[in-house]
Amino acid sequence: MSVFELMDKHGHEQVVFCYDRTTEMRAIIAIHDTTLGPALGGTRMWDYASEEAALKDALRLSRSMTYQAAVADCDTGGGKAVLWGDPLTEKSEAYFRAFGRFIDGLGGRFITYADLGTDERDLRYIRRETTQVAPFVRGTGAEGDGAKVTAYGVLCGMKACCKAVFGVSSLSGRTVVIQGVGEVGSQLADYLDKEKARLIISDIVYDAMKRVQDRIPAAEIVRPESIFDCECDIFSPCALGGVITISNMDRLKCKIIAGAAYDVLESDVVGDLLHKKGILYAPDFVISAGELFQSADRLEPVSLEESLRRAEEIYDVMVRVLDRSTRDNVAPFRAARKMAIERIEQVGKVRTILTRPPEIGL
């Protein structure tokens, strides 16, 4: 498909290809829908196999951000930026300042924050060229606050899923497999340990697993290739997307899939098959919405404590999604999408009301 055909298929408004000759910075900014407000989405840096793979990631992730904001009752649209490069070798001040200038050129249509492969240091360089950076948890001075809020939101979503599946929201005694213990996964492990859950962890980086096990000695470490064969109550993907596929879904030995990773499923077909098998898949764009609660309705910074309090709302959002799933007899991810689209359509109709007449020079 051509880019325009892909945009039409997925409902995107704008796709921007950016290239800086001096730093060889290559970026794609995808803006999916701005009905509710400016497109908000992270900037991730990854050494994609091809331009097609980078574009696919930008398109699918920006659409998920639209659904996430709509379901979470936020006044933002969906966007995503991907930087095509190796985050270990290609970063520089000039690289991110060039990217910041491209963002600034969009005139506020896209607002970003750190994602996979980028961090606060990268954002500082971007912020020197544009104000269009989300003001998440300013003034706390704490590192990793975004991961903490996201992980807490996942925890709250897990509790709602447990209530639906097991009849009680408690995670005490439940076995949880965490795939990926980076910033969010490791924070989630700490929360689950406090809830007295049994932990099984895995990551392609051994040191990341060892850091978690040093804090939580009871956490069991398994090899990445064995992660799908673990007996557990909850499987929690917290790394890359697309990890649950047609070929490996039958290996899962869980009742719930609930994690911080975006686009966990290879395709919608997998989600429907999981639903038929009786495995509750918590829609990723619902359960990972914690970071959206780090800013007020008008993208004003709030404290970490306030962000965590707001992230508790994910429990109630998940309950509504699961109720709608039962009522409509569809998989939860389809129910959540429908709820998101309904809100966008309803608010979009209201926004046809003119509030500030243009100056026409009469």
Task: Classify domain 145-339 at the CATH superfamily level.
Answer: NAD(P)-binding Rossmann-like Domain (3.40.50.720)
pLDDT of residue 356 exceeding 80 = no
**Does the annotation mark 194 as catalytic?**
no
Q: Bigger pLDDT: 354 or 228?
A: 228
pLDDT of residue 295 exceeding 60 = no
Average pLDDT over residues 168-177: 97
Rg (the chain; Cα; Å): 20
Q: How confident is the model at residue 298 (pLDDT cuts 50, 70, 90)?
A: low
Q: Which stretches within the chain are classed as H helix?
A: 3-10, 51-71, 93-104, 120-127, 145-166, 183-194, 206-215, 268-277, 284-287, 304-311, 313-328, 332-350
Q: Bigger pLDDT: 36 or 293?
A: 36
> Domain residues of the chain, as ranges?
3-66+74-127, 145-339
User: Cα(169)–Cα(179) distance, rounded to whole angstroms?
Assistant: 22
What would the pLDDT profile of 232-256 be if each residue is shown by its tens digit? 999 999 988 889 999 999 999 999 9
Q: Across the chain, what does the average pLDDT equal? A: 91
- pLDDT for position 12: 97
Average pLDDT over residues 297-324: 84
User: Cα(93)–Cα(305) distance, rounded to whole angstroms?
Assistant: 32
- pLDDT for position 136: 58
Contact indicator for 225, 168 with CB cutoff of 8 Å: no
Q: Choose among 67, 66, 28: nearest CA to 46.
A: 28
Catalytic residue among 80, 148, 159, 255: 80
Q: Which residues neighbour 321 within 8 Å (Cβ) at sequence distance 6 or greater?
A: 71, 283, 286, 332, 335, 336, 339
Average pLDDT over residues 96-124: 93
Domains 3-66+74-127 and 145-339 share a fold: yes
Contact indicator for 41, 65 with CB cutoff of 8 Å: yes
Query: Which class is domain 3-66+74-127?
Result: alpha beta
Average pLDDT over residues 201-209: 93
Share of the chain above pLDDT 70, in %: 94
